[in-house]
Every structure is written in structure tokens, then in C-alpha cells.
Structure 1
Amino acid sequence: MTPVNAEAMMPLVFSVAGLIKGYIAMNYYVRRHADNKGEHDVHSGNCPHMPDINNRLYLGDFDSCQRAVKVAMELGFLKVKECYWCSVL
């Protein structure tokens, strides 16, 4: 992975362990309760549309949302997708 400029990324929530390894690892969460389409959104730690604390599960620190989505599926969430707002931020 290519190291990133940490100062440019300061507004983001990141993992110190990831920073030490030379990349920014974001905190990711999955919505516990499915939306009206039966889907569970995966959100980064700085998402303005983060679910309420009682409706989210911490997945871990990852360098991409795709990895967090995979972990959510491995935990048994059947229909999982990346949050739209996280993907455009």
C-alpha cells in the first residue's frame, strides 16, 4: 500500500495502528437493523449518517469499505452494502 499524508487526512477517524504501518485504517460499523429493503449499510467512523449507537456494530479498522463489507457478511449480515454517503465523502 502507498503511504498517505496523515495531515491531509486529519478530519477522518483513523487507527493509530494503521498509521504506524503506513496507511490510514478507518473505523467501520454495520447497521444492526436492516432498512426497508432488508439491507445493512456499512459506515466509516466519520459518516454523518452513522446509525444510533444502539443500532450499530463495530466491525474493526480497515483500509477499505469493501473489506468491512466482507467482514459484515462473514458475521451473518446477509444483504450488506457500503453507505452511499461514505462512498461520496
Structure 2
Amino acid sequence: MNVGSGQEISVLGLHQLVAEVCGWQGEFDFDRSKPDGTPRKLMDSSRLTALGWRPRIELRDGLRQMIDIYGSTIAAQPAS
């Protein structure tokens, strides 16, 4: 069964969101001479939502949580 939020975000939009959540202020450089992949990747979760399932966390919040977990994991590792 497919599970998704039912919301769509572009690759650039996801890059920008991750950068914003991380506080990164660099620039993105895409090679536009290369194929851009599948135009849309929205997952159909209609069967699951028909059963009453809904995502409990927004993408921004999930990214923030994972970045925090990653940061604390890296900070807890001894320096090599």
C-alpha cells in the first residue's frame, strides 16, 4: 500500500526547504543540460486515507526533527 502525504513538492522546493530548516544560505546550481527526471512523483494514498489515515507530521517539522537527531548523533561521536 502506498503511503504519502498527498502533497507535492518539487526537487528545488525540497532543496530550499531543507536549506531553510538547516539555516544554510548557499546557492543551488542545477545542470539544466541533463534530463530533469519524472515531472511528477505524487504518491496516491487514497486507499489508506479512505481508511481514515492522515499524516501526523508536516514535512518541515519532520525535517527539523531529523536534522536535530542527526546533529545530536554527530555531536555525541568522539572526534577522530
Structure (1/2) with the larger helix percentage: 2
TM-score of the two chains, using structure 1 as the length reference: 0.23
TM-score of the two chains, using structure 2 as the length reference: 0.24
Larger-Rg structure: 2
- Bigger relative contact order (CA 8 A; separation at least 6): 2
Structure (1/2) with the larger strand percentage: 1
